[in-house]
Structure 1
């Protein structure tokens, strides 16, 4: 993982049969998804920046 980012959860967001990772950077409050192809990184997308006082909750 890049410096400052934490792995918060995994799910198959792009329905390719492989888990994808939800990442969070607590210092910037930025979220991201890493799409995986098997064990390899395929692509990524930034999600919303969480407002102060909000938490990232992943089931």
Structure 2
């Protein structure tokens, strides 16, 4: 399944700066939250980004500095 970039410009900018493997993790988490969890697209995107930070804090935060 292909998913378009996040709607929110701040989330989109942050996801774009993640390494490719963390972007893939974000994509998976966002899809699960939206389709299986019933969250709105915006909420799923933002919460998935927080999931990535929670799972890989050092790597995620380093790419935004």
TM-score bucket (shorter structure) = under 0.3
Higher-RCO chain (CA-CA 8 Å, sequence separation at least 6): 2
Larger Rg: 1
Q: TM-score, normalised by structure 1?
A: 0.24
Which structure shows the higher strand fraction? 1
